[in-house]
A and B are shown apart, each in its own frame.
Chain A
Amino acid sequence: MRYHPLTMVFKIYHLVKNSLLFALILFVFQRNSEFWLYEYGRYAFVFMFVWRLVYIVIAWIFERYEWEGRTFHLHKGIFVKHTSTIPFSKIQNVTRKTGIIHKIFGHTSLTFETAMDGEDDAIHFEVLTKKHANYLLDLVKPGETTIPDEVHKEAKPLDESVDEYADKQEKDRTIHFTPMRKDLWKASFTSLSFLAILPFIGGAYDYFEPFLPETDQVEGLFQRLLANAWLFLGIIVLAVIVAVVFGMVRTFIRYGKYEISSDATYIYIDRGVLDESYFSIEKRKVQGLEINQTWIRRIFGLAEVKLISTANPNMENGAVNVNSLYPFLPIEKAYQLIEDLLPVYQLDVELARLPRKSLWIKLLRPSWLWILATIGLFYFKPDFLQIDQAWWILSLGLLCIIVLNRILDYLHTRYAVTSDQVQWWHGGITSRMFITKRKNVIEMSYSQTRLQKHFQVASVSTINRSVPAHIEIINDIPLTYARVIQDWYLKRQEDIRIDKEAN
């Protein structure tokens, strides 16, 4: 069937939005320019714009989608026809976004992501009715529901069994987390969101520069401001308040309405105040988990929990990372959440610490960064705060940070391997926890440099499926333990089943 007609409106909106800047440059700021680039650019722009407009309409007429059994068929292209086939079973996760435009029309958008490579790796429905979205969501859900094996050319009324199934799903959902006001306050400060106003101001300045008075005048104004200490102080205080409020508003909009829930087989994340989004992933498609703690989050006792999955991490506009459960969870809450959502992961395992010799090797290892930076500093001897000897102070400072980072890395590193899972903490100033199941590790290696050989330690690295592949490395664990991990991995066959039918 055809995509929803409002898809055209949505695409045209994006077209206008994306070409607005060019239009402004060509027809407003440089309207009197006779430079050939602008001269012909205007014609080219009009031509391209009209072409895109026509293309959107024609594409809507020709492009179709349908499903047959448990497979989507997408027909794309006007001149070059292109059909892609995506079985429901390949769908890894679902994202549903309701932007402001969608809200105005009471519609929503839907994306099914698969783990396939290439351009056909996702199915996008830019605009569709909420009812149809729900229908599609239920359709792709694996379950006892059997969809009749006929081609659906038109939207059918909801199947009764599907309906029941959906109801049951709805009831079984338990909510695990919604942020409190306190969490949001913390989030706003730990994310340093008040700094986010800087690029905003910069962008605004660039945008409005042509309308602002001459630079000399601005500088004159600035001089007068500096002369009046009280006024200057007042402006700074005002700026700080504006920045903090801006940061708070930004955090509340991004993380204010947030709900993590799950049922027996799925994890759901609903979020967003202005732009609503809904994300769901099947539990067994989670490849592993990661907890991230930057130093500032550690001070506040917060952590970010990330799912390792094949979901595309950079959705449009660099909005909230879809793989992140919630970036500002109190650490105990984070553990609790993992246990609730994915009970197969056991977090109460006792972790081993590194032996003392690992600290020595960490400190002994030459730091190429420091060596190069010091050579650079020595050669250029940059003037910094009018201190003559700045270069070696900076070099020393860098060395201190590197050493601190390594000591912290030693302190943070803890690891454990149990029957079918591996878990470790590592990292210095930013520490990270990684946990995964043996069957989800698609490759494992361990390595030993000459220095590590001398100390009888080794590094272990694992690869998990993700986009791009998720590589985890733990350094300087005792060689005997590295061998244990290797042997453990060689017994991987215990956890997996071979798909006989794929042959």
Chain B
Amino acid sequence: MHDIKLEHSLSPSFPTIKWITEAISNIIVFAVLGVLFWVNDYFGWPTWVFWILIGLVALSILGVIWSIAEPVLLYRSWSYQFDDEYLQLSYGILKKEWVTVPMTKIQSVSTSQGPIMKRYNTRSIKVETMGSSHVIPALEQQIALQLREVLAEYAKLKEVDE
């Protein structure tokens, strides 16, 4: 199933965006841990607190390593395609998913953009159906807006029997 690739892929700047966001959150995590170490030292908390903190540091370091590898892997794993009947998404690193959503079952489409995504001129698209919601994490602004229009147009169609 790993060989299956759908028509479109994410914006090439997705890994960079992901790296920056992950780096920021990692810095925050380490800052918090640093403060905790200081507080621990200052108030002389029991020894087991120190060991828990060491454990958290170890986990965070693993997290950092993962956050370096993850964006590229995720970027490679992601692909999507759509026609007038279905929106198909395929993604996942350890667990590969392939989702098929009929256009007629799409309830709403929205795009959003954070400050980092804005810097790279990308947007994410969120598609909501009656039973679930899916996010395409980063598309070039123009493509995202186009896709939103297309999805919204197809989603207008409704099946008889609803």
Contact = CB atoms under 8 A, between A and B. Distances in A.
Given A497-B159, A499-B158, A448 B100 contact: no
B132 A469 contact: yes
Contacts of A498: 104, 157-160
B102 interface: yes
Contacts of B102: 442-443, 492
Contacts of A439: 159, 161
B118 interface: no
Interface string A476-503: 0001000000100110110011110011
A469 B133 CA distance: 12
A496 B159 contact: yes
Given A439-B161, A443-B131, A449 B100 contact: no
A496 B104 contact: yes
B89 to A, nearest CB: 8
Interface residues of A, number: 33
Given A449-B94, A486-B98, A490-B100, A443 B132 contact: yes
Given A442-B131, A443-B105, A469-B131, A486 B100 contact: yes
A197 interface: no
Given A465-B130, A465-B131, A499 B97 contact: no
A255 B129 CA distance: 37
A157 B132 CA distance: 46
Interface in B130-162: 130-132, 156-162
B116 to A, nearest CB: 29
Contacts, number: 87
Contacts of B157: 498-499, 502-503
B159 A443 contact: no
A503 B104 CA distance: 12
Nearest to B156: A503
Nearest to A443: B101
Contacts of B105: 442-443
A284 interface: yes
A418 interface: no
B99 interface: yes
B98 A446 contact: yes
Given A439-B159, A458-B1, A502-B158, A447 B97 contact: yes
Interface string A3-27: 0000000000000000000000000
Given A496-B104, A503-B156, A469 B130 contact: yes
A448 B95 contact: yes
B160 A499 contact: yes
Contact of B161 (A284, A443, A445): A284
Nearest to B1: A448
B158 A463 contact: no
Contacts of A445: 97-100
A474 to B, nearest CB: 15
Contacts of A81: none
B156 to A, nearest CB: 6
Contacts of B119: none
Contacts of A479: 1
Contact of B85 (A448, A470, A493): A493
Nearest to A491: B85
A176 interface: no
A90 to B, nearest CB: 9
A490 B129 contact: no
A453 B132 CA distance: 25
Interface string A74-114: 00000000000000000000000000000000000000000
Contacts of B132: 443, 463, 469
A425 to B, nearest CB: 22
Interface string A113-126: 00100000000000
Contacts of B158: 498-499, 502
B131 A447 contact: no
A471 interface: yes
A489 B105 CA distance: 14
A486 B97 CA distance: 12
B50 interface: no
Nearest to B131: A469
A338 to B, nearest CB: 20
A444 interface: yes
A496 B156 CA distance: 15
Interface string B80-99: 00000110000010111111
Interface in A382-398: none
Contacts of A448: 1, 95-96
Interface of B: 1-2, 85-86, 92, 94-102, 104-105, 129-132, 156-162
Given A447-B97, A447-B98, A463-B130, 5 more contacts: A443-B129, A463-B129, A486-B100, A490-B86, A496-B160
